[in-house]
Structure 1
Amino acid sequence: MSRLLTNEEINRQLGDLPGWKRDGDAVTASYDAPDFPSAIRLVAEVGDVAEEMNHHPDIDIRWKVTTWRLSTHSEGGLTQLDIELAHRIRQAADRLGATAGDHH
Structure 2
Amino acid sequence: MNWKEQDNSLNQTFEFKNFVEAFGFMTQVAILAEKMNHHPSWHNVYNTVTISLSTHDAGDIITEKDRKLAAEIDKLLA
Regarding TM over 0.5, the answer is: yes
Q: 2:4 aligns with which of 21, 27, 31?
A: 21
How many positions carry a matched residue from both structures? 77
TM, length-normalised to structure 2: 0.92
Give distance in 2, aligned partners of 1:62 and 1:90.
Answer: 20
Larger radius of gyration: 1
1:68-89: CA deviation from partner (whole Å, max 9, x where unpaired) = 0000010011111100111111
Structure 2: state its 5+ residue gaps: none
- Structure ranking higher on relative contact order (CA contacts 8 Å, 6+ apart): 1
TM, length-normalised to structure 1: 0.70
Question: Percent identity between the aligned chains?
Answer: 30
SS in 2 for 1:56: coil
Structure 1: state its 5+ residue gaps: 1-17, 96-104
Give 4+ residue runs of structure 1 displaced > 2 Å after superposition: none
Q: CA deviation at 1:90?
A: 1.5
Note the aligned Cα RMSD (angstroms).
1.0
